[in-house]
Amino acid sequence: MPKKVLIVDDRLESLWKCAELFRERGFEIMTCRQSEKALGLFDQYRPDVVLLDIKMPGKDGFEILKEIREKDRRVCVVMLSALGDSETVVQAMKLGADNFAEKSTDPEKVLIVVEKELKQKEMEMEIAFLKAEQGIGPLGVDHIIGQSEAIRKVKESVLSYANNDLPVLLTGESGVGKDLVAGAIHNESSRSGKPFTNLLCPGITPTLFEAELFGFERGAFTDAYKARKGIIESAGGGTILLNEIVEIPSHVQAKLLLILQTGVYMRVGGEGKTIHSKARFIAATNADVRDALRTKRLREDLFFRLNAAPIEIPPLRERREDISFLAQHFIRVESRKIARSEVELSGKSMDFLVDYDWPGNVRELETLMRAVVAGGSEDVIMGRAFITRDMKAGKENGLGSRLKDAIRKETESIEKQMIAQALHRFGGSRKQAAEYLGISYRSLLFKMKGYSLRDELPSVQ
Ligand SMILES: Nc1ncnc2c1ncn2[C@@H]1O[C@H](COP(=O)(O)OP(=O)(O)OP(=O)(O)O)[C@@H](O)[C@H]1O
Ligand SMILES: [Mg+2]
């Protein structure tokens, strides 16, 4: 995809020169001559790079830079300065510009600066990615893949909540990306150098949970031979993600609310000795929040506090336009992990992926793509398509398992026959047979093995 560049400059000549050169080099360009309109265009167009003239009538480049940085800490902003205007340049860099270029000279120089900055950003992303892969840290907002309106909104919320300290409530079905989004909020915030603690709440007994979270003093309970810090204390000024908040016992939810309101809590057995928490809290749940409130699994007061900064991530089936991007993303990532060349998905596979309902959401898609990469072919997708179609047909028509069995056997028999015929037709050449059948060489071998067609050239009537 071409990178998008927004050029804001009131001078027509320099604007055009720049636009022309960038367009020639394959960038997508949006130009803006009236600085008042720059921010609106930025919101609409969501560029990868902003070229910003400093001196403009009306709003100047500094003001626009500040406003852009409030919205987006990552977008590449290059200031266009007049010759020898070093002081203003220093000021722009302090306000968060990535670099500057002198616009009165050759626009080629502007292009070099932009390309360098983009490369730098790419490298930073790569490093962040490698770190996250090795469990060193969470990923930033750029790693949330998807072009849907819903994901665009999620990313916007991530960036705006990253800059304040409100507790966040993340909701959405299992596998929609709540952990990923929580990590991104942490990563984009000023806490990114501090620990990110991902706490799985279910399964821990209530007493242990309190001890884990708040820490305990010596003698607080039978096995407490020594005082110990809790997760909140160890997290320092970092971020704590409380997974499945509705599973936390009600009285602990009340203590959490107190921390959110006052920043103060006590260790178990440490009554009277208050501790100040500096951590930021993010709560997540895949439960239906309204139902959890009704059944009192989630305290209403805690909910209201958390809901000041809500992020709801819709299920994948409600944002199908994200599927192809995600599928390709996972293929790229997984292939890179095991140093394999990337499998290309056919239109037929993609149609299935987009039509399928993904009850396990993005996690299910990720797992399927992992299987595609490991198997080196898209056969597993067709296999899944077959089973899904079969199940649907079974459900819709009320087909019994015997009938389904018969359909499967019939399909297999046709497939076996077609393979045998193709092999016969091309004198046993597997490569040609695979091409003729429109399947990959690997999948032909796989099927031949399954149908015991491997060693003999079958005779066909
Ligand atoms: N938009 C996305 N872009 C890239 N990867 C994604 C996206 N959404 C989810 N994933 C990936 O899908 C997997 C599942 O996501 P995650 O663990 O964040 O889901 P979850 O909502 O926390 O699920 P659960 O409720 O089961 O804890 C992860 O590997 C995550 O990185
Ligand atoms: Mg999760």
296 and 435 belong to one structural domain: no
Q: What is the CATH number of the domain that holds 307?
A: 3.40.50.300
Q: What is the CATH number of the domain that holds 393?
A: 1.10.8.60
Determine the Cα–Cα distance for residues 257 and 306; give it in Å rounded to an integer. Answer: 9
211 and 196 belong to one structural domain: yes
Residue 95 in any domain: the answer is yes
Give how far Cα 337 sits from Cα of 130, 373, 402, Å: 10, 10, 42
The protein residue with its alpha carbon nearest to ligand 1, atom 27, reads: 174
pLDDT at res. 403: 62
170 and 118 belong to one structural domain: no
Identify the domain boundary among 399, 429, 449.
399
Task: For residue 174, report the distance from its CA to the centre of ligand 1, in Å.
Answer: 8
120 and 162 belong to one structural domain: no
pLDDT at res. 314: 97
Closest ligand 1 atom to 145 CA: 3
> Best substitution site from 198, 337, 366, 370 to test ligand 1's pocket, by max atoms within 8 Å of Cβ?
366
156 and 303 belong to one structural domain: yes
The protein residue with its alpha carbon nearest to ligand 1, atom 25, reads: 174
pLDDT at res. 461: 36
Q: Is 172 in the pocket of ligand 1 (CB under 6 A)?
A: yes
Q: What is the CATH number of the domain that holds 30?
A: 3.40.50.2300
pTM: 0.67
pLDDT at res. 171: 97
Task: For residue 254, report the distance from its CA to the centre of ligand 2, in Å.
Answer: 23
Domain total of the chain: 4
Q: What is the CATH number of the domain that holds 439?
A: 1.10.10.60
Task: For residue 136, report the distance from its CA to the centre of ligand 2, in Å.
Answer: 18
Determine the Cα–Cα distance for residues 51 and 35; give it in Å rounded to an integer. Answer: 12
Residue 355 in any domain: the answer is yes
The protein residue with its alpha carbon nearest to ligand 1, atom 6, reads: 177
> Best substitution site from 125, 149, 168, 176 to test ligand 1's pocket, by max atoms within 8 Å of Cβ?
176
107 and 158 belong to one structural domain: no
125 and 195 belong to one structural domain: no
Residue 99 in any domain: the answer is yes
pLDDT at res. 398: 54
Identify the domain boundary among 312, 331, 360.
312
286 and 434 belong to one structural domain: no
Going residue by residue through the chain (461 aa), what tens digit of pLDDT does each one get?
788 999 999 888 888 888 999 999 999 999 999 999 999 999 888 899 999 998 888 899 999 999 998 877 778 999 988 766 777 888 888 888 998 888 777 888 899 999 999 988 888 777 766 766 666 678 889 899 999 999 999 999 999 999 888 999 999 999 999 999 999 999 999 998 888 988 877 666 777 788 888 988 888 777 778 888 888 998 999 999 999 999 888 999 999 999 999 999 999 998 888 999 999 999 999 999 999 999 999 999 999 999 989 999 999 999 999 999 999 999 998 888 777 888 999 999 999 999 999 999 999 999 899 889 988 888 888 877 777 766 666 555 555 566 667 667 767 777 887 788 788 777 888 888 888 787 888 888 888 888 888 655 544 43
Residue 141 in any domain: the answer is no
Residue 138 in any domain: the answer is no
Among the bound ligands, the one closest to the CA of 361: 1
407 Cβ contact list (under 8 Å, min separation 6): 390, 393, 399
Task: For residue 172, report the distance from its CA to the centre of ligand 2, in Å.
Answer: 10
200 and 338 belong to one structural domain: no
Residue 137 in any domain: the answer is no
Full residue range of the structural domain in which residue 379 is found:
320-399
Task: For residue 61, report the distance from its CA to the centre of ligand 1, in Å.
Answer: 38
Determine the Cα–Cα distance for residues 240 and 244; give it in Å rounded to an integer. Answer: 13
- Residue 5 in tokens: 């560049």
214 and 233 belong to one structural domain: yes
Task: State which residues have CB under 5 angstroms from ligand 2, the bound ion.
Answer: 178-179
199 and 272 belong to one structural domain: yes
Determine the Cα–Cα distance for residues 461 and 458; give it in Å rounded to an integer. Answer: 10
15 and 100 belong to one structural domain: yes
